[in-house]
Amino acid sequence: MSASVPCALRRDPSSKGEWSMAKGFEAVVLRGLGAKEHAVTVIGKRRLAPHFIRVTCRSEGLLDPKGEAPANWLRLWFPDPDGGPKEFQRGYTLVDPDPATGEFSIDFVIHEPAGPASHWAVNCEEGDRIVAMRYGEQPFALPEPPPAGYLLLGDLAGYPAIRALVAAIPEDSPVVVYLERHSPDDDHIALPEGPNITASWVDELPDGQALVQAISDGDWAGWYAWVTAETASTRHAKTLLQKKFGLNRATLHAHAYWVRGRQMGKTQTIDSAGPEATEAKGASAAPAAADADAASDVNVMAAASAASEASATAGTTGASSSASTSASAGAVGSTDAPEPRQTPGADAGKGGVLRPLKRPLIAAGIVEGALSLLQLIPFILFAELARLFVEGAPAEAFAKPAIWAVVAMAVSAAGTTLLVLWLHFLDANFATALRHRLLAKFSRLPLGWFMRGRAADVKKIAGDDVRALHYLVTHAVPDIVGAVVAALGSLIYLFAVQWRLGLVLLLPIVAYIYVIKGIQRRDKDKVLQNQRYEVLAAGQTQAFIGSRGTSAVFGPKAVVDLEGTLRESGDFMADWQRDTGPRKIIAVMTNRPTTVLGVLLVAGFAMVVAGWMPATDLIPFLILGTSFGGRLLNLGLGVASLSGGLDAKASVELLLATPELAPPVDRPAPPGHVRFDHVDFTYGGGRKVIDDLSLTLEPGSVTALVGPRGRASRRWRRCWPGCGTSPAVP
């Protein structure tokens, strides 16, 4: 009998309280959010690859009678492999669901040491039962209007979801699939096939560069992209698709499925907002040198299967006591994953470009928090002075609060000045060091990188993007900390003065949030439609410019109707603004200081008349309360700068993670000697023009390369300067 059977018996769905205690607080939260519990019975199991098991199950009422959308997933509860009372919630993609019979399958990657999910998959037998829930799904739907094609990126963790998406895409739409190979066993899993499908494995590279290198030379403008891989791979691919090809939220689905080198703790917390935000807790499963150790049972949203050695996952999420985490639903990873092969510069972007500033920024946040509280003191003292004035206090009673207010203002002003000055010096030194680092990186990149139309990126990354990081380094932390601390400090003080009026103060904020959330719900589809128009217009603009000759002969609409698209987009935007404008005005007016002042006066007058508070308690609210909402809303003022800084950070990290040329080996050579030793040259698209060229040019000798004329002969001639020096080219 499998180790999971005792737990399976204990998890009888008819015994709600018993297994709910095993699940802990997570199950209570999910049930409170409307998730229903379903019994799932194992009816079959088969091994599709050495590290890949498919378990077939049946459950009554779990599947949607109308049919399941591609890449739909569910939450399963697995027993503790050690036999303890704790159960672990993981997300898995549904494979081949059949609502008529209630049957479906789940894919697992098997690895050692095994986490709860993979341990259960290995040991489960027909008749075993576990519990499943459905919550947090966002069903996939084919975009309208149809994109130019579909680009599906991932690894074995995303295979079940990608397989389901490929089956749902019409055959008249081109589909390109790239899966990152983490283990030779991955090749046992068949790639999607079809007349409109181009699918291939790409070997993993350090710092998640495999998928980026595979797509960097394509033209994905106007395509829909689905990216579900390891965190670094997903982040880099998302950055490239957004910045180079203009994809946005309407045309790009990017969720990390697992995090390399992270360990999943025994206690799993469920992300009520969706599986993609769940992250593993606990210490790293290996030392820094074993950074490639991957997820044991990963929590992911669309499902997956991963190589046993690779830490990716297989249509499952899961967490074990030794794994990584994820952000979606469905994959199991590996704790004994091999390290990806190393290339120079592989760890250049490791830890994030802002990692050296972690401690200084934490210190800046602490200092800003203290200064924000200090800046409240003059307002609090002013309120006390007003209270004393109303109460008719003697003149000498005003001196001490006034002196302390002046001192607080002086100290806070001096502290703020010094903090801002220090952060600007920190930013200047950081920017200088980062530019030197980037220029050194450029010098070590392959020539092929500069031939992909990226020469202009040199100025953008080393100049514009580094400048865009200024807000993140200098202003982001103080702005956020200052707004939050000042608002919370004001609220705590006002509640201490009069808690009833403090509750009234929150009403405008609640009303503002309610109106804004309503706008977001109503405009969700319109936002996506507007982004689709942007992508469509960008693609048609490129096509229009590239076909000027044809347009000059046959008319501007011969190739694309750019004018019609722009007109339609403009009409859509005008209708949208007319529909949304009144609600936005209501939201702004709800939280204006004059509105808050009116609410406080009316509520305060009523409470004074009712005898709930003295009139003097209203004074602090009139001084501090009117700006309370504005302090929180000030966070939105820096959103544009913050967004630009984060985009710049992603671009810089993508460059720093780009594989470099191999360092020279046995560089010294006698004068006049030129040696090529096993030289390869490959263009970005994967077309190799020089393959394992070894050549020695002795002084005074003439060497001829005989063969068809083409880029290969021109390329190798450029591999040495030919200016009287004596290089040895590795």
**DSSP-assigned letter for residue 349:** T
Question: What tokens were used for 91?
Answer: 């997300």
How many angstroms separate the CA atoms of 602 and 265, rounded? 52
CA–CA distance from 421 to each of 355, 424, 452, 475 (Å)?
21, 5, 41, 11
Helix then strand then coil, in percent of the chain rounded to 5, is: 50, 15, 35
Q: Which residues contact 388 (CB under 8 A, 6 or more apart)?
A: 397, 398, 401
Domain 150-254: give its CATH code.
3.40.50.80
For residue 294, the model assigns a pLDDT of 33
How many angstroms separate the CA atoms of 613 and 515, rounded? 31
From the list 502, 509, 504, the residue with the least C-alpha distance to 620 is 502
What DSSP element (H or E) covers 693?
A: strand 688-697
For residue 364, the model assigns a pLDDT of 92
Secondary structure of residue 690 in the 3-state scheme: strand
What DSSP element (H or E) covers 43?
A: strand 37-49
How many angstroms separate the CA atoms of 335 and 303, rounded? 19
Q: Which residues contact 202 (CB under 8 A, 6 or more apart)?
A: 178, 179, 180, 181, 210, 211, 213, 214
* Element counts in the chain: helices (H) and strands (E): 22, 17
How many angstroms separate the CA atoms of 150 and 164, rounded? 13
For residue 363, the model assigns a pLDDT of 93
Beta strands in 210-300 (DSSP E): 224-228, 252-254, 297-298
Superfamily for domain range 29-134: Translation factors (2.40.30.10)
Complete DSSP assignment for 140-175:
----SSPPS-EEEEEEGGGHHHHHHHHHHS-TTS-E
Contacts 24+ apart (CB under 8 A), 41-47: 41/127, 41/128, 41/129, 42/124, 42/125, 42/126, 42/127, 42/128, 42/129, 43/103, 43/126, 44/126, 45/121, 45/124, 45/125, 45/126
> Are the CB atoms for 325 and 312 separated by under 8 Å?
no
CA–CA distance from 21 to each of 51, 180, 281 (Å)?
33, 40, 21
Domain 361-496: give its CATH code.
1.20.1560.10
Question: CB atoms < 10 A from the CB of 65, how many?
Answer: 8
> Are the CB atoms for 207 and 193 separated by under 8 Å?
no
Angle at 328 between CA 322 and CA 331, to 5 degrees: 50
How many angstroms separate the CA atoms of 21 and 33, rounded? 17
Is the backbone peptide bond immediately before 145 cis, with ω within 30 degrees of 0? yes
pTM for the model stands at: 0.59
Complete DSSP assignment for 504-559:
HHHHHHHHHHHHHHHHHHHHHHHHHHHHHHHHHHHHHHHHHHHTHHHHHHH-TTTT
Question: What tokens were used for 479?
Answer: 């702005």
Angle at 52 between CA 51 and CA 58, to 5 degrees: 150
Query: Where exactly are the structural domains of the chain?
Result: 29-134, 150-254, 361-496, 674-716
For residue 636, the model assigns a pLDDT of 65
For residue 415, the model assigns a pLDDT of 92
For residue 667, the model assigns a pLDDT of 57
φ/ψ of 444, rounded to 5, equals -105, 0
In the predicted model, residues of the chain with pLDDT beneath 50 are 1-21, 263-349, 715, 720-730
